[in-house]
């Protein structure tokens, strides 16, 4: 098979248009990380990732700040590249499993956090993992996506899920709806006043849902079974109890919004897991599902009924493993974003095109909110291997995926235009 002879890495901070609030914190930039792996036979592959310390471990973000948090995550990527040099190329999930314990120990050491979340390391490994998959694919005769990953669904349309953060204005929400968006991801779990008061958080969340529902409730769309826009609520582990979550859902029901909620994601932190059965909606796991065993635990022991897949944030390898466990239980899956750049959007898009539609939705969907948030989105878009193709940009907030798209996997295997 051959060994990895050398590695290299570059990175670039990309500014955001406005403060990006979630998990009680806020980002102002996201680091784009680019890695290259070269085999001893001369074969090479590139992979990239987006660092989000706030998403992957909010405690590191709170203690270290945005700049230092990014520097620490970058050190984990550098350490992974050092460990890879001289390693024999093998099946990428096995390589990831071999590296993960060492990298987690290293991450705990440099952050000073003995309880560092595995997601922090997976986020640091995303670009490395994708480069490994590219090398593995080349070693296997370059099979297509369906063959390589055992996926047989081809969604002809994918609806764009935009993100409504704490600061997304009413005008912006209306504009997204006018553009054709029909499934809106809504961040809850705010921290008004910075006091981390769960009751203040609940009241703010209820008011925010009321505001958004007032704007969207009367609109119509052809892409949902009810004919109206739907909601995907993301709590990012901020709720402290099932009782408080039930109060939020009771408010949603009182204003007629609960029937519009397709799913509610990650209500409880992973050190505070609670049973989520019989809440009347799908409850999805995201960052708490670090691996296949975590996914099994969440579905079997706590009743989680949907899985957020993040090949662009928790590695393609982990996403495939979680998908396999969800399929065994007929649990629906979908692809969520990490505010990634256009090149990484294509990875999420191709993965999402192989998933069944969510309940209540007539077509496939996936989240992408980079265009809402990056200052330099147009420049980043021009760098994507899919730039200029019919499937690169949405039309009325839907991506149209034709036979050409699936025949070449949407240019996924081409390297970025630099």
- Domain contains 203: yes
Residue-wise pLDDT for 201-225, tens only, equals 999 999 999 999 999 999 999 999 9
Q: What is the CATH number of the domain that holds 169?
A: 3.20.20.120
Grouping H, G, I as helix, E, B as strand and the rest as coil, residue 2 is coil
Query: Is 20 within the bounds of a domain?
Result: yes
* Tens digit of each residue's pLDDT (9 = 90 or more) over 380-411: 999 999 999 999 999 999 999 999 999 999 99
Is 416 inside a domain boundary? Answer: no
Q: Report pLDDT digits (tens) over 151-181.
A: 999 999 999 999 999 989 999 999 999 999 9
* 329-374: pLDDT as tens digits: 999 999 999 999 999 999 999 999 999 999 999 999 999 999 999 9
Could you give the maximum distance between any two Cα atoms of the chain, in Å? 64
Q: What are phi and psi of 230, to 5 degrees?
A: -120, 165
Q: Are residues 88 and 171 in the same domain?
A: no
**Residues 181 and 119 placed together within one structural domain of the fold:** no
Beta bridge partners, 333, equal 307
What average pLDDT does the segment 316-326 reach? Answer: 97
CA distances from residue 175 to 13, 187, 336, 338, 412 in whole angstroms, order as listed = 28, 18, 21, 22, 30
Confirm whether 417 is domain-assigned: no
Q: Is residue 157 part of a domain?
A: yes
Long-range Cβ contact pairs of 193-200 (< 8 A, separation 24 or more): 196/24, 198/239, 198/240, 198/244
Q: Are residues 338 and 237 in the same domain?
A: yes
Structural domain count of the chain: 2
- The SS3 assignment for 355 reads coil
pLDDT of 299 over the 90 cut? yes
Q: What does pLDDT average to over the chain?
A: 96
Residue where one domain finishes, among candidates 113, 143, 173: 143
Compute φ and ψ for 257, nearest 5 degrees: -95, -20
Full domain range(s) for residue 64: 4-143
Question: Residues 49, 139: one domain?
Answer: yes
Residue 24 has pLDDT above 90, yes or no: no
CATH assignment of the domain containing 30: 3.30.390.10
Q: Which residue has the tokens 């005769």?
A: 141
Q: Are 114 and 15 found together in one domain?
A: yes
Instruction: Judge whether 19 lies within some domain.
Output: yes
Asked whether the predicted pLDDT for residue 4 surpasses 60, the reply is yes
Q: How confident is the model at residue 194 (pLDDT cuts 50, 70, 90)?
A: confident
Among 143, 178, 205, where does a domain finish? Answer: 143
Residue 82 shares a structural domain with residue 228: no
Same-domain check for residues 107 and 128: yes
Q: Name which of 133, 132, 116, 120 is nearest 51 in CA terms.
A: 120
> Containing H/E element for 35?
strand 25-39
> What is the model's pLDDT at position 418?
54
- 261 and 384 share a domain? yes
Residues 169 and 231 in one domain: yes
CB 53 within 8 A of CB 61: yes
On whether both 112 and 194 belong to a single domain, the answer is: no
**Nearest partner of 52 among 28, 86, 80, judged by Cα:** 28
Q: Please check whether residue 418 lies inside any domain of the structure.
A: no
Q: Note the residue count of the chain.
A: 418
Q: Which of 149, 35, 89 is nearest to 409 (CA)?
A: 149
**Looking at residue 284, what is its pLDDT?**
98
Tokens 């109206």 belong to which residue?
228
Shared domain check, 114 and 179: no
Question: What would the mean pLDDT of 297-309 be, rounded to a whole number?
Answer: 98
Residues 163 and 298 in one domain: yes
Q: Is 138 among the domain residues?
A: yes
| pLDDT (tens digit per residue) in 113-153 | 999 999 999 999 999 999 999 999 999 999 999 999 999 99
In whole angstroms, give the CA distance from residue 50 to residue 319: 16
Residue ending a domain, choose from 126, 143, 160 = 143
């Amino acid at each position: 098979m051959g060994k990895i002879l050398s590695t290299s890495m570059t990175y670039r901070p990309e500014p955001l248009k406005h403060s990006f609030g979630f998990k009680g914190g806020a980002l102002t930039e996201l680091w784009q990380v680019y890695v290259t792996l070269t085999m001893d036979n001369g074969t090479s592959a590139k992979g990239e990732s987006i660092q989000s310390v706030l998403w992957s471990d909010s405690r590191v973000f709170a203690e270290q700040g945005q700049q230092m948090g990014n520097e620490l995550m970058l050190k984990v990527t550098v350490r992974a590249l050092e460990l890879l040099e001289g390693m024999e190329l093998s099946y990428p999930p096995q390589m990831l499993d071999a590296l993960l314990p060492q990298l987690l120990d290293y991450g705990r050491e440099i952050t000073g956090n003995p309880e560092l979340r595995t997601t922090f390391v997976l986020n640091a490994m995303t670009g490395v993992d994708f480069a490994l998959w590219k090398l593995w694919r080349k070693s296997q005769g370059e099979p297509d996506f369906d063959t390589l990953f055992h996926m047989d669904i081809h969604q002809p349309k994918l609806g764009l899920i935009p993100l409504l953060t704490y600061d997304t204005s009413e005008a912006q929400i209306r504009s997204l709806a006018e553009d054709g968006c029909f499934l809106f991801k809504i961040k809850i779990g705010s921290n008004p006043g910075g006091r981390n008061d769960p009751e203040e958080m609940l009241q703010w969340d209820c008011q925010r849902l009321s505001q958004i529902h007032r704007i969207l409730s009367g609109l119509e769309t052809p892409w949902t079974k009810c004919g109206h826009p739907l909601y995907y609520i993301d709590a990012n582990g901020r709720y402290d109890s099932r009782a408080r979550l039930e109060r939020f859902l009771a408010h949603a029901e009182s204003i007629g919004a609960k029937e519009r909620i397709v799913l509610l994601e990650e209500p409880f932190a992973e050190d505070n897991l609670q049973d989520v059965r019989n809440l009347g909606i799908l409850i999805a796991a995201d960052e708490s599902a670090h691996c296949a065993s975590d996914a099994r635990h969440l579905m079997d022991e706590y009743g989680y009924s949907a899985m957020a897949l993040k090949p662009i944030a928790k590695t393609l390898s982990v996403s495939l493993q979680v998908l396999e466990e969800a399929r065994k239980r007929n649990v629906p899956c979908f692809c969520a974003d990490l505010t990634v750049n256009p090149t990484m959007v294509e990875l999420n898009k191709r993965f999402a095109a192989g998933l069944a539609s969510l309940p209540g939705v007539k077509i496939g969907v996936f989240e992408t909110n980079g265009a809402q948030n990056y200052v330099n989105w147009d420049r980043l878009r021009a760098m994507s291997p899919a730039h200029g193709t019919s499937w690169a940009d949405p039309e009325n907030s839907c991506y149209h995926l034709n036979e050409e798209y699936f025949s070449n996997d949407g240019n996924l295997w081409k390297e970025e235009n630099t």
